A and B are shown apart, each in its own frame.
Chain A
Amino acid sequence: MKQKSLIDDLHDIQEEEEKNYLPLNKMIKAAKTTGISEAKVYGVSTFYTMFSVYPRGKHIIRVCRNLSCHLSDAEKIVEKLKEILNVDFGETTKDGEFTLEESSCLGMCSVAPAMTIDDEPFGNLVPENISEILRKIKEDSKK
């Protein structure tokens, strides 16, 4: 009954990939099955910030950079993340665990500064707790 759109398909493809991205051959395949041109599929894939056409880490960290977070010193959280992970926005850690991204607003302004790791929300962040959160995520995913 449920008719899927190309965006749903791309979400599915990306979810299946351990490296959280849209491989070229799968985008081509999606174009064939949907009858949409390859160029348009690529256009959609690169329009939305949650899709990536390059391999990413196992976990996607999205730091909120909305004004409420900005007013609550989110920049310190950003600095700490960059320092611990040794990456910049859009980059993946050497061990392939984390990719650091920014979000325009996660809608968690009351517990600012906030971030999500995959689907899990974290709020009231302080720089001191960041490494513990990351350690737990890594540990839990090994189970």
Chain B
Amino acid sequence: MKIYRIHALICAGAQCLAAGGNGFEEALKNELKKHNIEEEVCVVETGCMGACQLGPLLVVYPEGIMYTNVEAKDAKEIVEEHFLKGRPIKRLMWKKEGKEEFPGLKDIPFFAKQTKIVLRNCGLINPEDINEYIARNGYKALAKAIVEMKPQDVIDVVKESGLRGRGGAGFPTGLKWSFAANQDSEEKYMICNADEGDPGAYMDRSVLEGDPHSVIEGMMIAGYAIGANRGYIYVRAEYPLAVRRLETAIKQAKQAGLLGKNILGTNFSFDIELRMGAGAFVCGEETALINSIEGKRGEPRKKPPFPAISGLFGKPTIINNVETLANLSVIIDKGAKFFKQFGTEKSPGTKVFALAGKVNISGLVEVPMGTSLRKIVFDIGGGIPEGHTFKGALTGGPSGGVIPMEFIDTPMDYESLPALGTIMGSGGLIIMDETSCMVDVAKFFLKFVVDESCGKCVPCREGTKQMLKILERITSGRGQKEDIDRLEKMGKLIKLTALCALGQTAPNPVLSTIKYFKEEYLAHIIDKKCPAGICQFSALKEGGKKHEAKVTH
């Protein structure tokens, strides 16, 4: 093996690339060539490092120094000063409140205060090289499961670990598996739900881009446990980089004999196929996703029968979310007890949150379940930009609700959030300050649901549209006193009667903002004022039709 003097890790996650990361890598390589030190410096393209807002990011080892917002023009200085003379470039280093530089990664609170299980390899390894995953104990858990354990043992360990579905609902994973395992069927399927669509959520994309093998290994362990030999990864077409890295990972796993027939000399055979979505939020709902894999319109099916009994092509099927699957190899390798030391009694393990909105450092944050919102926003995320104040945090995207300042110390877990009228969801966390209008936010999510409703059931198709009409009326200064009651009544009705989770949760943002910010609704309706100054009351005239922005086909 070749020994390098310096390792330069460049984040090649989609967000760093979007911020201009491509140009930097090329410039760095050119500089290394110019100074003839290509043999001394190993440049590694990694997945997401987490601090996406400060990207493009570069980490230099052995020192562990992180450079932020690097540009192509910085490459010369980095190579000449740091790589050749050993003098780190202070102006590019991560700084404490914009002043003093942090010496290394481990000193930066954003990283030091996280607990990484799911993101254990993200930003550390090259996601396009299976050997780097294997070097980090990759596929060890798979070997342990299929050689030393019976399928029932695997299910028992996962049950014991208390792992709950990270896609949003928080259903116990081991219990879900046991339903399919108990089915007597020659064909069973294991599906990975990588159709991440919640506005504000991008943790699954980062795992797929940064550590695709952890998802593949998780699927294989799950497949072994339930007795499935075929797996599908349903990934949204909006994530071309994730698709490419998954394709590479599957190919490499096949070449290494880790996917295919008689894996590691056992009787267990498993194959994985990729299936691409085509732009439909509802396909994240598991029965709609099954229809989409079958090549049909992504409309949900009625439950029961549940997919574990009759799913893809009518066979027992288990659908797990990306983050859930990425936890599995750690649980099997290190045991349920190890996993349970993190998080709370009822929600063990960690959760990855995608921190976005009005916060100083947005990016991916993995913390033990039950960590308070305050710690995430202020200790890790560095608080709210100067001169502004925290108003609320949205969890769960269009299915969730808002957590106001008075509940900022609430532990983030599967029990506490529903008690506040919101949900954990997939982990999107959008922070809002006093410049955000809560009625506008509620309207925004409702418009999203109206656009994304598949149209199959009436409560979701028509109900959300009527609610949106009322909200548009309120935000344009034509609200009526009875409108708040109407919204609440309709919201509750839709929750009770919609066919799938999309519709059943669609009124949540409206109900939640009414619950905590009723005075803002009243200001719009009675005083004809938007306290945040967002809603323009003159823009929409009576009877005038606002531009309908949905793409027409």
Question: Which residues does A use to contact B, with CB under 8 Å?
Answer: 1-3, 5-8, 10-11, 34, 36, 40, 43-44, 46-54, 62, 65-68, 70-71, 88-90, 101-112, 114, 116, 119, 121-124
Contacts and interface: CB of A to CB of B under 8 A. Distances in A.
Contacts of B271: 1
Interface in B433-455: 436, 441, 444-445, 448, 451-452, 454
A104 B197 contact: yes
11 contacts: A11-B276, A50-B277, A67-B397, A68-B199, A68-B200, A71-B432, A103-B238, A110-B15, A112-B356, A123-B18, A123-B19
Determine which residue in A36, A43, A70, A71 has the highest number of CB atoms from chain B within 10 A of its CB, and name it.
Answer: A71
Given A89-B549, A121-B17, A67 B394 contact: yes
Given A5-B275, A102-B549, A116-B238, A44 B296 contact: yes
Contacts of A50: 237, 277-279
B18 A52 contact: no
A116 B15 CA distance: 11
Determine which residue in B200, B355, B394, B436 has the highest number of CB atoms from chain A within 10 A of its CB, and name it.
Answer: B200
A109 B197 CA distance: 12
A101 B553 CA distance: 11
A132 B357 CA distance: 26
A105 B553 CA distance: 19
A110 B356 contact: yes
Contacts of A11: 237, 276, 278
Interface string B287-300: 00000111111100
A56 B504 CA distance: 35
Nearest to A119: B240
A105 B198 contact: yes
B55 A111 contact: yes
Contact of B276 (A7, A70, A89, A90): A7
A7 B275 contact: yes
B15 A111 contact: yes
B202 interface: yes
A138 B240 CA distance: 20
Nearest to B244: A119
A46 B553 contact: yes
A1 B428 CA distance: 37
Given A11-B276, A68-B357, A104 B199 contact: yes
A89 B551 contact: yes
Contacts of B551: 49, 89-90, 101-102
A47 B298 contact: yes
Q: Which 3 A-B pairs have the closest CB atoms?
A: A123-B18, A110-B52, A6-B295
Contacts of A5: 275, 293-295
Contacts of A103: 238, 279
Interface of B: 14-15, 17-19, 52-53, 55, 196-202, 205, 237-241, 271, 273, 275-281, 292-298, 354-358, 362-363, 394, 397, 428, 430, 432, 436, 441, 444-445, 448, 451-452, 454, 547, 549-553
Nearest to B428: A109
Determine which residue in A34, A90, A108 has the highest number of CB atoms from chain B within 10 A of its CB, and name it.
Answer: A108
Nearest to A64: B199
B273 A53 contact: no
Given A104-B197, A107-B239, A112-B356, A67 B279 contact: no
A108 B356 CA distance: 9
Contacts of A102: 549, 551
Contacts of A2: 273
Contact of A48 (B240, B277, B430, B552): B277
A34 B363 CA distance: 43
Contacts of B451: 104
A107 B242 CA distance: 12
Contacts of B275: 5, 7-8
Contacts of B197: 104-105
Given A48-B280, A49-B279, A114 B18 contact: yes
Contacts of A47: 280, 297-298, 454
A102 B358 CA distance: 23
Contacts of B358: 71
A36 B294 CA distance: 12
B52 A111 contact: yes
Nearest to B394: A67
A47 B282 CA distance: 11
Contact of A66 (B15, B199, B241): B199
A67 B197 CA distance: 12
Contacts of A6: 295-296
A121 B18 CA distance: 5
Contact of B298 (A48, A52, A54, A62): A48
Contacts of A124: 18-19
A123 B239 CA distance: 14
Contacts of A88: 547
A90 B552 contact: yes
Determine which residue in B53, B239, B295, B549 has the highest number of CB atoms from chain A within 10 A of its CB, and name it.
Answer: B295
B468 to A, nearest CB: 15
A28 B444 CA distance: 38
Contacts of A52: 553
B51 to A, nearest CB: 8
Given A67-B430, A111-B52, A121 B394 contact: no
A15 to B, nearest CB: 11
Contacts of B298: 47-48
Contacts of B428: 109
Determine which residue in A10, A116, A121 has the highest number of CB atoms from chain B within 10 A of its CB, and name it.
Answer: A121
B553 A53 contact: yes
Contacts of B205: 107
Given A47-B298, A48-B279, A71 B53 contact: no
A90 to B, nearest CB: 4
Nearest to B17: A121
